[in-house]
Amino acid sequence: MAGAVEALIGTKEKTKKSSKAKAGVKKEESAQKKASAKTRTKTAEKATNPSQILVIVESPAKAKTIEKYLGSKYKVMASMGHLIDLPKSRLGVDVEHGFEPEYLTIRGRAEVLNSLVKEAKKSKAVYLASDPDREGEAIAYQIGKYISEKVPGLPISRISFNEITHEAVREAVASPHELDIAKVDAQKARRVLDRLVGYNLSPLLWKKVKNGLSAGRVQSVALKLICDREKEVESFIPEEYWTIESLLKFHHSNLKAELTLYKGDKVQIPDGKAAAAVVDSLVGKPAVVSDVRASEKVIRPKPPFTTSKLQQTAANRLGFTSKKTMQIAQRLYEGVNIGTRRMGLITYMRTDSVRISEGALAEARSWIGQFYPGQLPAEAQRYASGKNAQDAHEAIRPTSVSLTPDEVSRYLARDEQRLYALIWERFVASQMIPAVARVTTADITIGDGVFRTSATAFIEEGFYKVIRLAATKEERASHVLALEVGQNLPVEKINAVQHFTQGPSRYTDASIIKALEELGIGRPSTYAPTISTLLERYYVSRDSRQIVPTTLGRMITEILTEYFPDVLDTSFTARMETMLDEVEEGKTDWVERIGKFYFPFKKRVDEVMETLSSRKGELDEVTDVVCDKCGRPMVKKLGKFGFFLACTGFPECKNTKSIPLAKCPKCGGDIVARKGVRGKKREFYGCTNYPACDFMTYDKPTDTLCPKCGWFLVEKNDKVSGVHKACINPNCDYLHSKDNETDKDVGKETAKEAEN
Catalytic-residue membership of 348: yes
Where are the chain's structural domains?
Answer: 1-42, 53-179, 188-236+505-611, 240-300+436-500, 307-433, 660-755
Give CA–CA dist 296/437, Å, rounded. Answer: 6
Q: Which residues of the chain have pLDDT under 70?
A: 1-50, 387-392, 640-641, 675-682, 717-724, 735-756
Q: Where are the beta strands (DSSP E) in 640-739?
A: 642-647, 656-657, 662-663, 670-675, 683-687, 696-697, 701-705, 712-718, 722-727
Helices marked H in 82-212: 110-121, 134-150, 166-174, 181-208
Number of other CB atoms surrounding residue 352 within 10 Å: 21
Q: Is 244 helix (H, G, I), strand (E, B) or coil?
A: strand
Which candidate in 141, 348, 539, 685 is catalytic?
A: 348
To which H or E segment does residue 259 belong? strand 253-262
Q: Tell me the C-alpha distance between 384 and 354, whole Å.
A: 7
User: What pLDDT, in 10s, does the model give residues 203-221?
Assistant: 999 999 988 889 999 999 9
DSSP string, 429-493: HHTSPPEEEEEEEEEEEETTEEEEEEEEEEEE-GGGGS-SSSS-HHHH--------TT-EE-EEE
CATH homologous superfamily of 188-236+505-611 equals Topoisomerase I, domain 2 (1.10.460.10)
Straight-line distance from the first to the last Cα atom of the chain, in angstroms, rounded to the nearest whole number: 92
d(CA 90, CA 582): 28
How much is the pTM?
0.78
Q: What is the pLDDT of residue 308?
A: 95
Three-class secondary structure of residue 34 per DSSP: helix
What burial letters (b/e) apply to 382-420, b meaning 16+ CB within 10 Å? eeebeeebbebbbbbbbbbbebbbeebeeebeebbbbbb
Hey, what amino acid is at 595?
G
Q: What is the pLDDT of residue 743?
A: 37
Q: What gap in Å lies between CA 429 and CA 449, rounded to an integer?
A: 43
CATH of domain 240-300+436-500: 2.70.20.10
The verdict on domain 53-179 having CATH code 3.40.50.140 is: yes
Three-state SS for 295?
strand
Domain range 307-433, its CATH number among 1.10.290.10, 1.10.10.10, 1.25.40.10, 2.60.40.420: 1.10.290.10
Residue type at 568?
L
The SS3 call for residue 390 is coil
Q: Can you tell me the distance from the alpha carbon of 57 to that of 73, in angstroms, rounded to the nearest whole number?
A: 16
